Amino acid sequence: MRRITQGDIDQLRRRINVAAERAIDNREPAGDAAPRERPSASSRHGEFHLEGKERQGSLGRFLMQEHMVPNDRMHGNIRVGDLQLIPGNWLTNISDSEAQPIGPRHWAFLDTETTGLAGGTGTCAFLVGVGTIETDGFRVRLFFMRDYDEESAMLDALSECLNHYDALITYNGKSYDVPLLETRYRLKRQASPMGRLLHVDLLHPARRIWSERMSNCRMGTLESEVLGFERHDDVAGALIPHRYFNFLRTGNPAGLRPVFSHNILDLVSLACLGAVLMPAFAEPGETAFRHAEDMLGLARWMRKNGDREDALHLYRKAIRAGLPPRCVFASIWESACLEGQAGNRGIQVRLLRELSRVANPYRASAFEQLAKHYEHKEKDLQTALEMTRSAQIHAPSKDLDHRERRLLRKAGGEATPGVTRHAGTESREPALSRAAVADTAS
């Protein structure tokens, strides 16, 4: 039976909230009360007050809200004013881009609230938030269409805003927000501003680092676990489309105010998350990560990008910090492979021997790599044969069988048939501690 996680519980709560809110909105009027008629467009915009300024452009009207989060505000453990201090080359480092450094004053953080979570041609972004780093703090502009006839004007104003920036930073924006907006621009026969911008989606580096430690990498999870920020009375994302449709029916914006606040918090959290991720990728050797799994995630990213030295340093730190059992053997195996690529054969052999001493998923592979080392580097055919036979015991294969026969032919009468020191039993020599393994690779 699959173990129930906190994510499962949170999802169930969201579904209950959605059902409860819909039930309240769809209640029949009590007694002989007449059913409520849908207000006219004029009453929907005039009877109730929605904060913000109405903007008039060549394509019509829409509503805009502006907010400034001051520099001295703490968002969890991040000071908002410190966002201005991020070097421009850190953004290009995390994006794997060869573009010139782009300073933080030229970044635009973007997040949308939409009429449906599944996407598709019929889904609109009724609220688009843009956050920017400025002298006085973190500025948030919310572009809001009060009805579908204001979408063209809202998109036109969004384009004008983004034209002043050179980089776009999102969270899952490459898969959701940006494709959705580009579809809306095409349907409205407007040019999209997105193609000109360097787009950095922080979801991908976040998953690289935190997926080992956390059950999911949703923004709310990272706010709590990484930024140390907790939301209170926040609206669930699954409820947001329903609240907008209720606003369209009634004109009452009360249900939308928490949605605007939700979007503002998303943008501030997005910027602060960048302040954690960017230095980790730019200066991995100086990372302030405290959790071993986070160091391991960053080590794997460095290895993927060909930064062998930083990767090995992080692997050693992760092992010393105390990785959980499910990660220890994988990290030792990956470290051994990197040491071999770096030409550190002695360290590689010591790490592979550690893996060969105890039961683990990489034991057979460690024996096979040791067999190759003793055959080709040490020219010790007897030990190479022993390692090959040990690998055969734990994971038989045609390749290993072929290797054994070849070693026997190559050794002639030197090798002793059927003899291996490792076959069938665990070594009595105790495995090294995690600290000792890390010291072995130092």
Q: Are residues 267 and 344 in the same domain?
A: no
Element (H, E) at 183: helix 178-187
Domain boundary among 282, 298, 323: 282
Nearest-angstrom CA–CA distance, 255 and 21: 11
What's CA 140's distance to the chain center, in Å? 23
Residues 263 and 184 in one domain: yes
Rounded distance between C-alpha atoms, residue 430 and residue 371, angstroms: 22
DSSP type of residue 148: G
Which pLDDT score is estimated for 416? 55
Residue 33 lies in a domain: no
Last residue of a domain, one of 248, 282, 316: 282
Instruction: Specify if 14 maps to a domain.
Output: no
Residue 16 lies in a domain: no
DSSP 8-state assignment for residue 55: E
Strand ranges inside 196-329, DSSP E: 198-201
Q: Which two tokens stand for residue 344?
A: 């550190």
Distance of alpha carbon 372 from alpha carbon 385, whole angstroms: 10
Give the tokens for residue 433.
Answer: 């501690």
SS3 label, residue 159: helix
Do residue 66 and residue 160 come from a single domain?
yes
**CATH no. for residue 363?**
1.25.40.10
The verdict on 389 and 361 lying in the same domain is: yes
Residues 118 and 69 in one domain: yes
In a domain, 9, yes or no: no
Q: Is residue 55 located within the same domain as residue 200? A: yes
Which of helix, strand or coil describes residue 132? strand
What whole-number distance in Å separates Cα of residue 288 and Cα of residue 276? 9
Q: Which domain holds residue 358?
A: 287-440
Residue where a domain terminates, one of 249, 282, 315: 282
Can you give the pLDDT at residue 22?
Answer: 54
In whole angstroms, what is the distance from residue 338 CA to residue 327 CA?
Answer: 16
Q: At a CB cut-off of 8 Å and minimum separation 6, what does 64 contact? A: 52, 53, 54, 55, 141, 142, 143, 144, 157
Number of H helices, E strands in the chain: 17, 9
pLDDT at position 326 is 86
Measured between alpha carbons, how far is 235 from 163 in angstroms, rounded to an integer?
31
Whether 162 and 271 share a structural domain: yes
Cα-only R_g, the chain: 29
**Same domain? 310 vs 256:** no
Q: Please list the pLDDT of the chain residue by residue as tens digits (442 residues).
A: 566 665 565 566 566 555 555 554 544 444 444 444 444 333 444 456 788 999 999 999 999 999 999 999 999 999 999 999 999 999 988 887 777 899 999 999 999 999 997 766 789 999 999 999 999 999 999 999 999 999 999 999 999 999 999 999 999 999 999 999 999 999 999 999 999 999 999 999 999 999 999 999 999 999 999 999 999 999 999 999 999 999 999 999 999 999 999 999 999 999 999 999 999 999 998 888 999 999 999 999 999 988 999 999 999 999 999 999 889 999 999 999 999 999 999 999 999 999 999 999 999 999 999 999 999 999 999 999 999 999 999 999 999 999 999 999 988 755 555 544 444 434 433 444 555 555 555 5
Residue 389 lies in a domain: yes
Closest CA to 329 of 208, 207, 434: 434
What integer pLDDT is reported at residue 97 of this predicted model? Answer: 76
356 within domain boundaries: yes
Bridge partners for 297 per DSSP: none
Residue 12 within a domain = no
293 and 182 fall within a common domain: no
Task: Give the C-alpha separation, 408 to 385, whole Å.
Answer: 8
Say if residue 258 is in the same domain as residue 306.
no
pLDDT at 323 (0 to 100): 93
Q: What is the CATH number of the domain that holds 132?
A: 3.30.420.10
The answer to whether residue 13 sits within a structural domain is no
What pLDDT score was predicted for residue 269?
Answer: 98
Is residue 143 domain-shared with residue 172, that is, in the same domain? Answer: yes
Q: Are residues 316 and 426 in the same domain?
A: yes
Total of domains in the chain = 2
167: region left, alpha or beta (phi > 0 left; psi from -120 to 50 alpha): beta
Tell me how far apart the terminal alpha carbons of the chain are, to the nearest angstrom: 42
User: What pLDDT is attached to residue 36?
Assistant: 42
Distances (CA, A) of 91 to 133, 174, 269, 425, 430: 14, 16, 16, 52, 46
What's the pLDDT score for residue 96?
73
